[in-house]
Amino acid sequence: MKLSEVLALQREKKKGNGSVAKSRPNAQPVAGRNSTVKVVRTRETPNPSALQFVLNSQILEHGNLSYETVKDCGDDKLGKALFEKRGVITVYIMDNFVTVTKEDEVDWNPLKDQVWKTIDANVTLYKSKAAAKINIDVEKFLSLPDREKLDAVEMVLNRSIRKNLAQDGGGVEVKGIDGNVIKILYQGACGSCPTSSTGTLQYIQTQLRQQLHQDLEVKSV
C-alpha cells in the first residue's frame, strides 16, 4: 500500500476530530481493579522533583496518559486520587509505571509513601489501541500536509524515542507543526528536567532529522 493510501485511511479514522493528533492513546480505565498489581519499587529520574513508581505488571499496553490537572483525569480514579495529595503537580502513566512530579518545595518524605499507598489502593488497568503503522516517503516529507507530517513524526517518536524517555519516567507529546518546525511538550519527569531543553531536545531533533528530513527543527513549548 502506498504512503498516500495508508495516510488516507488514517484521516478517515480521525475525521470529525479537528484537533492535531496527540500522543495520548484512546485509553480508558477497565471496570474494577486487580488487587495483585502493586508498586514494587521506585526509580529516581534525572528530574529530582519526579519519581517513577514501578509496578509488578503492565497497566497500559500502548501509548501513555499524561495529566497536568485533576480535570485531565476524567474518569480515571487513580489520577484523581494522586492529585489529592498535597504537592503533586503532574501524573504520567505508561507501560508498568506511574511517574509523579511534585512541587519543588515539597519534600518526598512523606509524599513518597503517600503516593505509593495511593497507587496500590487505586491501581487501574487501561484499555488502549496500538497506533497504526505507516510507510513514509522521506523524499516527499516536506510537501506532505501537516496532519500527515504529524502522523510520520508520531511513528518515529513511538519507534525510537518514547521508550528511551520512559526509562527516565517521562515522555513527549506533539503539539503541532509549522512548516519544518515541530512543537513538542514534555511529559512526566521530562517536564522540568534540567536536560530537557538541551540534550534531550537535541536527541529528539537528531532522530527526526535522520529518519524524516534533515531540515526539521524541534522546539519545546
- Do 33 and 83 reside in the same domain of the chain? yes
The pLDDT assigned to 218 comes to 92
Share of the chain above pLDDT 90, in %: 37
Domain stops at, among 127, 158, 182: 127
Q: What's the predicted TM-score (pTM) here?
A: 0.63
Output the average pLDDT for the chain: 81
Q: How many domains does the chain have?
A: 2
- pLDDT (tens digit, 9 = 90+) per residue, 121-136? 999 888 877 666 666 6
**Domain, as residue range, for 170:** 3-21+131-220
Residue type, 136: I
Largest CA distance in the chain: 55
Higher pLDDT, 65 or 81: 81
Same domain, 49 and 67: yes
CA–CA gap between residue 15 and residue 23 (Å, rounded): 17
For residue 165, give the CATH number of its domain: 3.30.300.130
- Distance between CA atoms of residues 73 and 62, nearest Å: 18
> 204 versus 62: which is more confidently predicted?
204
pLDDT class for 3, splitting at 50, 70, 90?
Answer: very low
Q: Are residues 98 and 153 in the same domain?
A: no
Contact by Cβ (8 Å): 52, 45? yes
The last residue of one of the domains, among 110, 127, 144, is 127
